[in-house]
Amino acid sequence: MSVSTIKENFNWRDISVYQLIYIVLGSLCAVIAIKGFMIPNHFIDGGIIGISIMLHEVFHFDISIQLLLYNLPFLYMGYKKMGSQFAIMSFLAILIFSILMFFIKIDPIINDKIITAIFGGLLLGVAFGLVIKASAVIDGLEIVAEYTNKYIGLTSGEWVLFTNSIIIILVAFLFGFEAGMYSLITYYTAMRVSNYVVDGINAYTSLSIISAKHNEIKELLVKDFGKAITVYKGERGYLPGNFDVKHDCDIIVTIVSRLEILRLKKAIHAIDNKAFLVVTTVNEVHGGIIKKLRNH
């Protein structure tokens, strides 16, 4: 998940109880994942957490102290990039995480490698997602990722994937190929779950429709499903063998939730089973009717 680049000045009154709850619960989930699942089986996630676990396994350095120390330079980078509000909230999250890591003792929960990889990653993903919902992070690697597009030419996602791949390769070298592969499952599970926690079940998707029966479909979307639509004027046709055949058409675009996709597709195909649909993931939606409905 990418962190915001909007700078905000810190104000203690802006911290809500919900943010603190998200941070504490997220940190607790991370501790359970690391101590109960990952460390006993030599599984490692990416980022600062992965590096801290790896150095703990090799040199027996205390993880809680590593988490705090290694993240400090990245918190300063976060302060310069995103302002004091983000930096202080992230420092608070990392401090709570480090304290819980130091004091909470957890025996290995299970020794099954598949279950460990899946549930360790699941808990870690929930942890990342909850802390991000509190406008903070517990791993400074994501802050570095905000600089990579400008100075290196990599997107945030590409940078995170690149650095975490190196960490997992090191895991395979130090602890064996099997541990590296299971660590990859843990990382992938954590990444997918954190996205789901942040976006929620109602994460939005863009649906574009090209159909000869565009008027009926517009009426379906607006009147039956209560959707706002945007219409682009275009042309359909240009098929192989019939390149010169073309028709004016309306290209209909609307924003829907995950839960609505299947129902909408069935309703559209009931009107025109030859309708062309393009479904695109949407990272953020602002303004318009979508925002008004969501606030209710």
| Res 258: pLDDT | 73
Q: Kindly state the helix (H) or strand (E) to which residue 98 belongs, with its residue range.
A: helix 84-103
- Joined together, the tokens standing for residue 239 give 């098929």
Give Rg (Cα) of the chain: 23
| Res 295: pLDDT | 39
CB 187 within 8 A of CB 46: yes
pTM exceeding the 0.75 threshold for the entire prediction: no
Distance CA 206, CA 65 (A): 44
pLDDT at 148 > cutoff 90:
no
What one-character DSSP code corresponds to residue 41? G
Question: Which position has the higher pLDDT, 286 or 113?
Answer: 113
* Residues sharing a CB contact under 8 Å with residue 187, sequence separation 6 or more, in sequence order: 45, 46, 50, 121, 164, 168
Kindly state whether residue 6 falls inside one of the protein's structural domains.
no
| Res 221: pLDDT | 93
Select from 199, 230, 256 the last residue of a domain.
199
Q: What is the mean pLDDT of residues 92-103?
A: 95
Kindly report which listed range (51-60, 62-71, 201-210, 249-258) carries the lowest average pLDDT score: 201-210
- Joined together, the tokens standing for residue 179 give 């541990």
pLDDT at 280 > cutoff 90:
no
Q: What is the mean pLDDT of residues 100-107?
A: 94
What's the Cα-to-Cα distance from 64 to each of 23, 49, 97, 196, rounded to whole Å?
16, 10, 8, 27
What's the Cα-to-Cα distance from 230 to each of 55, 96, 272, rounded to whole Å?
53, 46, 19
Q: What is the mean pLDDT of residues 150-168?
A: 71
Query: Residues 181-239: pLDDT tens digits?
Result: 898 899 889 888 987 887 665 567 889 999 989 999 999 999 998 899 999 998 877 87
| Res 240: pLDDT | 84
CA-wise closest residue to 46 among 229, 169, 154, 155: 169
Q: What is the dihedral of CA 215, 221, 226, 231, to 10 degrees?
A: -70
| Res 20: pLDDT | 93
Question: Which position has the higher pLDDT, 144 or 279?
Answer: 279
What's the Cα-to-Cα distance from 38 to each of 80, 107, 122, rounded to whole Å?
33, 11, 12
| Res 6: pLDDT | 43
Amino acid (one-letter) located at 114: I
Kindly state whether residue 106 falls inside one of the protein's structural domains.
yes
pLDDT at 288 > cutoff 70:
no
pLDDT at 174 > cutoff 80:
yes
Q: Left if phi > 0, otherwise alpha if psi is -120 to 50, otherwise beta: which for 200?
A: left
Select from 177, 199, 221 the last residue of a domain.
199
Q: Which domain holds residue 60?
A: 12-199
CA-wise closest residue to 186 among 114, 275, 237: 114
pLDDT at 245 > cutoff 60:
yes
The answer on 89 and 38 residing in a single domain is yes
The answer on 155 and 17 residing in a single domain is yes
Select from 151, 167, 199 the last residue of a domain.
199
pLDDT band at 127; cut points 50, 70, 90: very high
Distance CA 121, CA 28 (A): 14
Kindly state whether residue 74 falls inside one of the protein's structural domains.
yes
User: pLDDT above 70 covers what percent of the chain?
Assistant: 84
* Residues sharing a CB contact under 8 Å with residue 149, sequence separation 6 or more, in sequence order: 155, 156
Q: CA end-to-end span of the chain, whole Å?
A: 26
Kindly state whether residue 5 falls inside one of the protein's structural domains.
no
Using the CB atoms, write b or e for 94-119: b if 16+ within 10 Å. Answer: bbbbbebbeeeeeeebeeebeebbbb
Number of domains in the chain: 2
| Res 2: pLDDT | 47
The answer on 116 and 30 residing in a single domain is yes
The domain that contains 231 carries what CATH number? 3.30.70.120
| Res 94: pLDDT | 95
| Res 208: pLDDT | 94
| Res 291: pLDDT | 43
pLDDT band at 80; cut points 50, 70, 90: confident
User: pLDDT above 90 covers what percent of the chain?
Assistant: 40
CB 214 within 8 A of CB 252: yes
